Amino acid sequence: MGRTGRYVESVVGGEKVRAYVPSPLPPVPAVDAGQFLSLYDRARGAVGRLDGVTTILPSTPLFLFMYVRKEALLSSQIERLDHLAQLVGLQPRAQHPLPFPAFSVRF
């Protein structure tokens, strides 16, 4: 029997069918939610801090654009897509040092 349930074959109206039967609750062994709760608390705290920052920003769309642009650059570094960096309007490395020296962008 699987952790979430099992399939039971039966015949209905002369036709063979499979029915899914879920496992009884609570599961055995019990799910340890402790490790997930600490991650959940950290995520909620991060979202709360981000929400707090948006109240003091002069322009929320400009703030978001900055991070979207940064993410596009990092993705292009990882995937070695040099043209993506040019598409988002970034200049060569000499003018804008990269946050991760292990990756390089070729122009």
Using CA atoms, how far apart are residues 81 and 74, in angstroms rounded to an integer?
Answer: 10
Question: Residue 98 pLDDT more than 60?
Answer: no
Question: Residue 78 pLDDT more than 80?
Answer: no
Amino acid at position 93, single letter: R
Question: Residue 65 pLDDT more than 80?
Answer: yes
Quote the pTM value. Answer: 0.34
